[in-house]
A and B are shown apart, each in its own frame.
Chain A
Amino acid sequence: MVQAVASAPPRLTARGTTAAATVVVEDVRKSYNDVHALNGVSLQVPQGTVLGLLGPNGAGKTTLVRTLTTLLRPDSGRATVAGYDVVRDAEALRASIGLAGQAAAVDDYLTGLENLEMVGRLYHLPKGEARRRAVDLLERFELSDAGARRASTYSGGMRRRLDLAASLIAYPPVLFLDEPTTGLDPRSRVGMWEVIQGLVDDGTTVLLTTQYLEEADALADRITVIDHGAVIAEGTAAELKRQSAQSVLSVQVEHDADLPEARAILGRLGQQEPHVDEQERRVSVGTDGGSEVLASAVRDLDAAGVRIADLGLRQPTLDDVFLALTGHAAENGGSQDDDADGESARGGV
């Protein structure tokens, strides 16, 4: 099949699919012994869009990605990618996808160029074509200068970029990114977002998992929130935010001892159960009120003798949505790769 392309970053078109949705998941289940890693997940990713799969550690994000990239067989349910069934058409499916997993799959002893060429050859690109694309991708990912160096000399951010470049060498119509920026410093993270955004602009369909709400907010057209192997919310970032209160009243107190008092006061003013962050000495609560709520808060806190370090009314973030949906905060530390898939001890490099 020959596709016409305009210039170096080629326009990508999904092959083998005419349906509007490039990724279709219907009631997929996967268990390990007694653990239901996926408990009947259904979702769709329309062609040329980004779906952000959001959830805490162990929610089932990685299990779903591994199922869709044919690394795992679902126990039941049906899933297709680019029109190919993940079980029946696994081999053809693999020719249509790129995967960048949590651990950068980079060969330390090979140079950046050799890494990309090798993956290109394993997609069965002719030698010359694999090399041409490898050189292109190195340039696109600002790795040209490092292309002749062994990957073992690369920084964390460079390894991630090389790993992403490798997943793109076949110009796959569908791309799976499992926590693409976990472990990156903020600057590299933003750089990675720009790269991913560029791919989407070129027409690639992307499913990305993340623990970072701002990442989903920045990249995803639609967001699916999963927890305990099930979808608990779905929509655009704006839609999800609308599901929570209009605004969030948040107060930081100076003394730990004042936290219970502040919590009680905000509980009376807000529409929900307040959330207390003891480390930050901060209490926040969703409210539909405006500035009058802010004034009441100042008055009541002052009357109770609570010393205020910071007080404000702000727009809800995805963090607030997440908190409201799951009952716990998104970034609760812990290890990077603990999706309950029982065999995920593959972190680190």
Chain B
Amino acid sequence: MTSIAVPAPTSSNKLSWVVSDALVMAKRNIIRMSRRPDYVIFSTIQPVMFIVLFNYVFGGAIATGTANYIDFLIPGILIQTVLFGSFNTGVGLAEDLKAGMIDRYKSLPMSRSAVVAGRIIADTLNNAFQIVLMLGVAFLIGFRFHGTPIESLGVPLIALMFSVPFLWVAAAIGVTLKSAEAVQSAGFLWLFPFTFVSSAFVPVETMASWVQVLAENNPVTIVIDAVRGLTYGDPSMSAIWQSVAWSVGLTVVAAALAVDRYRRV
């Protein structure tokens, strides 16, 4: 019988470990999420509740210029939900740092980015699940796509893509603050203005004029406008390209920041 020795790091296998280690950590996080009732509730009941509440409470009061408020609402809710989901990323990482697991991870020959990247992969999958779930529920209460199948497919894809940089920002905050409570508070401070000073729930034209300036330049507005255009079957190519640019740019910056902060823990 022979035993397989632990491979020593070389420049070539280190590169492949960046991916494989992140996947091992992603699997760990997905198992954890599926076994935590608070996560399951956060991921399923909450977004559904928001759709139902917003539609039936605000739906009658907000003049959106279209016949159907729900068609206006769903793109906003999709983005809001995946952005707020980043709370979990920050809190989860802060918990990991606290629980003594981090010393083990840092003493292992694993890739330095894997703890954070694995978390992001798992949360991205969770976001994909939530987006599909929300579209399903929305469909039941009257939401419809008005564009081509490809335009319709763009709706969940852009929503998912735009969630990634926010997960990285939340990860950077999580590994910096290292406390679940502090991450929660910080989340309220940056996520609420970002989401609400945007076209997510009400048309920007109805806001106070100085807020309009902020809302119009908020990447959240740009992304929601792109998603809304695709929903209505009236896509704005410039909004779509700007969404892609924002997503990629923010991800690069936030990921570098998050991994750097993790190394310093």
> Do A and B truly interact?
yes
Interface residues of A (CB under 8 A from B): 1-5, 10, 15-16, 66, 69-71, 91-92, 94-97, 99, 101-105, 107, 109-110, 114, 118-119, 121-126, 129, 150, 166-167, 170-172, 346-347, 349
Using CB atoms and an 8 Å cutoff, list the residues of chain B in contact with chain A.
1-9, 13-14, 17, 20-21, 24, 27-28, 31-32, 35-36, 98-110, 114
Chain A residues near B14: list those with CB within 8 A: 91
B9 & A91 in contact (Cβ 8 Å cutoff)? yes
The 4 closest A-B pairs by CB, nearest first: A103-B100, A105-B104, A95-B109, A94-B109
Cβ-defined partner of B6 (8 Å) among A70, A95, A102, A150:
A95
Q: How far is the CA of A110 from the CA of B110 in the complex (A)?
A: 19
Q: Are A2 and B108 in contact (CB under 8 A)?
A: no
Does the CB pair A122–B110 fall under 8 Å?
yes
In the bound assembly, the distance between CA atoms of A15 and B6 in angstroms comes to 10
Question: In the complex the two chains form, is A71's CB within 8 Å of B103's CB?
Answer: yes
> How many CB-defined contacts (below 8 Å) exist between A and B?
110
Structural contact, B4 and A125, CB atoms closer than 8 A: yes
Instruction: Output the least CB separation between A167 and chain B (Å).
Output: 8
- Select which of A3, A71, A107 is within 8 A of B107 by beta carbon: A71
Alpha-carbon distance between A286 and B103 when the two chains are bound, in angstroms: 42
CB pair A349 B99 closer than 8 Å: yes
Interchain CB contact under 8 A, A126 and B108? no
Given A96-B6, A124-B109, A129-B4: 18 more A-B contacts, CB < 8 Å: A2-B5, A3-B2, A91-B109, A95-B7, A95-B9, A95-B109, A99-B103, A101-B103, A104-B100, A110-B32, A122-B24, A122-B110, A123-B108, A124-B6, A124-B13, A150-B35, A167-B104, A347-B100
Q: Are A5 and B9 in contact (CB under 8 A)?
A: no
For B14, B27, B106, B108, which residue has the most chain A Cβ atoms within 10 angstroms? B108
- Are A5's CB and B6's CB within 8 A? no
Are A10 and B100 within 8 A (Cβ)?
A: no
- CB neighbours (8 Å) of B110 from chain A are 122-124
State in angstroms the CA–CA spacing of A171 and B13 once bound together.
Answer: 20
Query: Which one of B8, B31, B35, B100 lies within 8 Å of A105 (CB-CB)?
Result: B100
Shortest Cβ distance from B33 into A: residue: A109
Name the A residues within 8 Å of B3 (CB-CB): 2-3, 5, 10, 171
Contact present for A105 and B103 (CB under 8 Å): yes
CB distance from A12 to the nearest CB of B (A): 10
How many angstroms between the C-alpha atoms of A124 and B7 in the bound complex? 7
Chain B residues near A16: list those with CB within 8 A.
8
List, in ascending order, chain A residues with CB within 8 A of B108's CB. 94, 119, 122-123
Residues of B within 8 A of A1 (CB): 5
Minimum CB–CB distance for B82 against chain A, Å = 23
Distance A2 CA – B2 CA, assembled complex (angstroms):
7
| Inter-subunit contact B4/A99 (CB<8 Å) | no
Residues of A within 8 Å of B24, CB to CB, are: 118, 121-122
**Complex CA distance for A10 and B5, rounded to whole angstroms:** 11
Query: Considering only CB atoms, which chain A residue lies closest to B21 in the complex?
Result: A122
Inside 8 A of B100's CB, which chain A residues have their CB?
101-105, 346-347, 349
Contacts of A129 in B (CB 8 A): 4
* Closest chain A CB from B134 CB (angstroms): 26
Chain A contacts for B105, CB-based, 8 A = 122
Q: Which residue of A lies closest to B34 (CB)?
A: A109
- Say how far A171's CB is from chain B's closest CB, in angstroms: 7
Q: Of all chain B residues, which has the CB nearest A166? A: B104
Q: Given the complex, which residues of B lie within 8 Å of A5, measured CB to CB?
A: 1-3
Task: State whether B109 touches A123 (Cβ < 8 A).
Answer: yes
Bound Cα distance from A161 to B21, whole angstroms: 25
Q: How far in angstroms is the closest Cβ of chain A from B107?
A: 4
Q: Which residues of B contact A346 (CB under 8 A)?
A: 98, 100, 102-103
B103 touches A107 (CB 8 A): no
Contact assessment for A118 and B7 in the assembled complex, using a CB-CB cutoff below 8 Å = no
Contact of A109 among B7, B36, B102, B103 (CB under 8 A): B36
